[in-house]
Amino acid sequence: MRLAEERALLCETGRRMVGDGLVLGTSGNVSVRRGDLVAVTPGGVALDALTPGDCPVLDLSGEVVEGARDPSSEVPMHLAIYESTGTAAIVHTHSTYAVVVSATMRELPPIHYNTLLLGGTVRVAPYATYGTPELAAHVGAALEGRQAALMQNHGAVAVGADLPRALEGARLLEWLCAVYVQAKAIGEPRVLTEEELVAVIGRAAQGPRGATPPGGR
């Protein structure tokens, strides 16, 4: 079976996404690239019910080279992200707070310095119908220089050098969205300034004798 290890990891990641509340039902999708091939979750199957054989393998043109199930309808977005970013793994979620923020804001400001782990202020890609080239283009632009983006009235996407890191980015983004929404419920959130963020970057750059990198404490 082609990309057997990667397909097994898709199933493990899907179960973790459901367990973490990042997806509901058959929503959301995941993919991982190795060379000129991409393993992706299929459409219409709950992510916590997948087996490796359920996950088709595609070439970079989107043609299925192995697998009986149809790939996720979001394949155009995944392939466009691979082409534009050079990343190796993508996690797409419909998590609650990400959808709330995406439906009400144009960006998620730096409510916490861990925003730096995603590249800074998280952009919201304009709305387009799922599975379309328009959505793929919007998300690709929102991801420029970032590890994650929100998708207006839709959800979120996170990328990484491997699936564990992409999933961790998706989990962090949902946490940041939750912090912002809950802060907004009791007042106007204070967001970090560029100067404050630069100071965090500088302190992390000091290495072992300075502070741990963002997220370390």
List of residues 6+ apart from 155 with CB closer than 8 A: 27, 28, 92, 93, 94, 95, 98, 99, 102
**Distance separating the N- and C-terminal Cα atoms of the chain:** 42
**What is the Cα–Cα distance from 42 to 200, expressed in whole angstroms?**
41
Give just the sign of the alpha carbon dihedral 94, 95, 98, 101.
Answer: positive
The catalytic position among 5, 66, 74, 83 is 74
Helix then strand count (H, E) for the chain reads: 6, 9
**What is the Cα–Cα distance from 135 to 144, expressed in whole angstroms?**
15
**Is 168 an annotated catalytic residue?**
no
DSSP conformation letters of 84-95: HH--SEEEEE--
Active-site residue list: 74
